[in-house]
Structure formats: C-alpha cells, structure tokens
Amino acid sequence: MKVRKSEERGHANHGWLDTYHTFSFGDYHDPEQMGFRALRVINDDTIAPGMGFGTHGHRDMEIITYVLQGALQHKDSMGNGRIIRPGDFQYMAAGTGVQHSEFNPSSTEAGHFLQIWILPEQKGVKPAYAEKPAANLEHGRLNLVASKAERDGSMSINQDVELYLAKLRSGDQVSHVLRPSRHAWVHVAEGEAILNGQTLKAGDGAAVFDEAALNFSAKSPAQVLLFDLN
C-alpha cells in the first residue's frame, strides 16, 4: 500500500475556486502522479457562492461528481439541467463530445464536491448522463455506486471499475476482498479511517496492490470512496 497524503496534493486557490488535485491536473503537473490504472483525476473542489465553471467541453472521459456540502447546478448539451445536493452522485460519459457548465446556485453557502475522471474502456461512445442519490445509503457497509455491469442497481460506467462508498460511524468496520490481479485506490472524503493498519484522514488516498483484502475501521464518522480497478 502506498499512501498519498492530503498535504502532498497539488493545490490552487483562484478565489472563487479552492481546489486540491490528487493527480496531475491543469497547472499542477507531477510526472509521478498521473493517475492510477484507469483512474485519472480526483479533484477536491470548493466553489464560492454564486460562482462556477462556465460552459466547456469534454470528450472520451467518464466523469463522476460527488457532492459533500452545498449544491451544484449542472447543465449540459444533452438537455440535462439539475441541481445535485449532498449525498448525490452524478455521472456523465463525455464520449463523442459534450458541453456542460457547473455552478454553485447558493448566494451564501460554499459548495464542496469531488470530481472524478476515469479513462473510458471504449472511445467514441454516445454521451450519457445518470444520477444516484447516496444520502440514505446504509451506514457501515460498502455501497456499490458505479460498475460496468450496473450490478446491484449501480450506475453503468464505460470501464472495468467498481466504485463503492462507505459511510462509517465511529467504530464501524468493513472489509473488501480484492480478486486476483485487481487493484484499488482509496480516497477518504471526510473524517478519519484506518485501512489495513494505516490511519488515513480527509483528503488522503492510498494505492493498494498485491493485497487480498482491504479492512477499514472508522476512528471518527467518515466517508470513504473505494475504486476497485483492473
């Protein structure tokens, strides 16, 4: 297991946007941090009230957004116009090309969210959009949010990746078995958790390989994202 500490991430504060980059992104470039397997981006973004990203384009990228605090207003060239709130996951397959914008609709509260980019298994697919509310998911377990086969009601994704969310109370314990030749990336979104004996706090990540199992326990209420990758 190789830990990527929160304070080691790239950081930029643009006034309206305060952002931390787990992997190289924008003006932050580290040739040693170009992603992990198909996982290319984890940006930890806080957007000031009334601010956001104007209309811009993406193609051939699987984009997942998870809102932690506040709200995020999304509009895209597929005709989707939604406000996603804490506990909501949003998925967009950029495929052959899509234009979208993202704004904080509140005039008083900052919006805090994770934006995740995953390299697609197939390029040139038709753009797609989906949402999955997670605010009411069961605590103390790994809940499957996205998978290639839409298993267990998860959102479909164009890559052999399974994304899980664990919402943990203090003292909760949960485990995940890694199948042979599989890899994992763990990101602690909130709180503090122990992974295979290693304490991780909010913003920390860990690459896991050559391990049969991942064992989590929560030192405080926590939200943990687990990517099971080929």
Model confidence pLDDT, tens digit, residues 60-88? 999 999 999 999 999 999 999 999 999 99
Average pLDDT score, the chain: 97
| Res. 98 pLDDT band, cuts 50 70 90 | very high
pLDDT of residue 45: 98
Query: Are 20 and 72 in a shared domain?
Result: yes
Instruction: Please answer whether residues 69 and 111 qualify as being in contact, where contact means their C-beta atoms are separated by less than 8 angstroms.
Output: yes
- Answer with the one of 105, 133, 161 that is the final residue of a domain: 133
pLDDT of residue 188: 98
CA distances to 35, 36, 181, 229 from 210, rounded to whole Å, are: 18, 15, 8, 13
- DSSP output for 97-150: -EEEEEE---SSS-EEEEEEEE--SSSSPPPEEEEEE-TTPPTTSEEEEEETT-
pLDDT of residue 227: 98
Query: Are 106 and 194 in a shared domain?
Result: no
pLDDT of residue 197: 96
Query: Are 15 and 127 in a shared domain?
Result: yes
Model confidence pLDDT, tens digit, residues 201-218? 999 999 999 899 999 999
Query: Are 85 and 147 in a shared domain?
Result: no
**Residue 103 within a domain:** yes
pLDDT of residue 87: 95
Query: Are 30 and 122 in a shared domain?
Result: yes
| Res. 180 pLDDT band, cuts 50 70 90 | very high
Which whole number is the average pLDDT over 85-94? 97
Which whole number is the average pLDDT over 111-119? 98
**Residue 2 within a domain:** no
- Answer with the one of 133, 164, 186 that is the final residue of a domain: 133
Q: pTM to 2 decimals? A: 0.97
**Residue 149 within a domain:** yes
**Residue 3 within a domain:** no
**Phi then psi dihedrals of residue 6, to 5 deg:** -55, -45
Query: Are 186 and 152 in a shared domain?
Result: yes
Model confidence pLDDT, tens digit, residues 21-67? 999 999 999 999 999 999 999 999 999 999 999 999 999 999 999 99
Which whole number is the average pLDDT over 177-183? 95
Which whole number is the average pLDDT over 153-176? 97
Cα–Cα distance, 40 to 196 (Å, whole number)? 24
Query: Are 15 and 128 in a shared domain?
Result: yes
Nearest residue to 147 via CA among 229, 48, 26, 53: 229
**Residue 123 within a domain:** yes
Q: Which amino acid is at 211?
A: E
Query: Are 29 and 101 in a shared domain?
Result: yes
| Res. 99 pLDDT band, cuts 50 70 90 | very high
**What is the domain count for the chain?**
2
Query: Are 198 and 85 in a shared domain?
Result: no
**Which residues have CB under 8 Å from 197's CB, separation 6+?**
none
Query: Are 129 and 15 in a shared domain?
Result: yes
197: CATH:
2.60.120.10
**Residue 110 within a domain:** yes
Instruction: Identify the three-state secondary structure at position 230.
Output: coil
Instruction: Identify the three-state secondary structure at position 190.
Output: strand
Query: Are 146 and 122 in a shared domain?
Result: no
**Residue 216 within a domain:** yes
pLDDT of residue 122: 97
**Phi then psi dihedrals of residue 153, to 5 deg:** 75, 15
**Residue 104 within a domain:** yes
Which whole number is the average pLDDT over 151-166? 97
| Res. 2 pLDDT band, cuts 50 70 90 | very high
CA distances to 15, 55, 166, 205 from 71, rounded to whole Å, are: 18, 18, 21, 24
Task: Give residue 55's domain range.
Answer: 9-133
Which whole number is the average pLDDT over 128-155? 95
Eight-state DSSP code of residue 22:
S
Query: Are 43 and 124 in a shared domain?
Result: yes
Eight-state DSSP code of residue 35:
-
